[in-house]
Amino acid sequence: MDKWAVTQPNKSWRKVTLRDSTKGKLTYEFLAVQVWLWVKDTPEVRRWHLVIRRNPATQSDYKYSLSNAPKGTKPKRLAYMQGQRFWIERSFEDGKSECGMADYQMRGWIGWRHHMALVKMAMFFMLKERIENKEEYPLLSCGDIEKLLAKFLPRRDITTDEIIRQVKKSHDKRKAAMESAARVQEKRKRQKPPG
């Protein structure tokens, strides 16, 4: 794909400033063209916008997106929409690093959904706090909020006996899960017809 993008004339690329960032204005060059793609395993063809972004200084580092925006959508609007992926990726980074999105140890679908619901509530709380305090603290981050909560929320001190009890309980659960998995495997081996 880069081979095709490199061959496009410079006059086809439009410079668009997406937003202010911590390093100044974030500006890229964009190219938007209409493409038609077949829907897999059908005779149907659909029209898409192919949106390509590149670094204006190096005219390299290409990023590609497909958009199903209406036919007359302006290239600047397509460039803006493509730039919104940053905020999605940023929310996942915050969720993983500050809200425990990647810190789950369950095997079931229901437990995973419960965990993700709690993560999303924590992320919503942090976003709300950042919005409400943006005038006074414009650089407030999710990490800052986590540090503040750790410092000012009351903590229940855990005794050594309580920690040992919790670890033993965790070990008992893990051992039971391992034994259960071994029984299931053994049962499958016995049920498997000789082949």
Domain residue limits, the chain: 2-80, 92-153
The confidence score (pLDDT) of residue 190 equals 83
CA pair distance 13, 21, nearest whole angstrom: 22
CA pair distance 114, 107, nearest whole angstrom: 12
Residue 21 phi, psi (nearest 5): -130, 180
pLDDT at 191 exceeding the cut of 90: no
Let me know: does 76 contact 16? Beta carbons within 8 Å.
yes
CA pair distance 59, 29, nearest whole angstrom: 8
Whole-model pTM: value is: 0.59
The average confidence (pLDDT) of the chain is: 87
The confidence score (pLDDT) of residue 70 equals 92
Residue 1 pLDDT grade (very low, low, confident, very high; cuts 50, 70, 90): low
Residue 113 pLDDT grade (very low, low, confident, very high; cuts 50, 70, 90): very high
CA pair distance 65, 48, nearest whole angstrom: 10
CA pair distance 167, 159, nearest whole angstrom: 13
pLDDT at 195 exceeding the cut of 60: no
pLDDT at 11 exceeding the cut of 70: yes
The confidence score (pLDDT) of residue 52 equals 93
- Using one digit for the tens of pLDDT, what is the confidence trace for 53-108? 998 888 888 899 999 999 889 989 999 998 888 888 888 998 998 888 988 887 88
Token pair for 30: 């964009």
- Using one digit for the tens of pLDDT, what is the confidence trace for 22-42? 778 888 999 999 999 988 888
CA pair distance 3, 39, nearest whole angstrom: 24
Torsion of CA 98, 99, 104, 109, to 10 degrees: -150
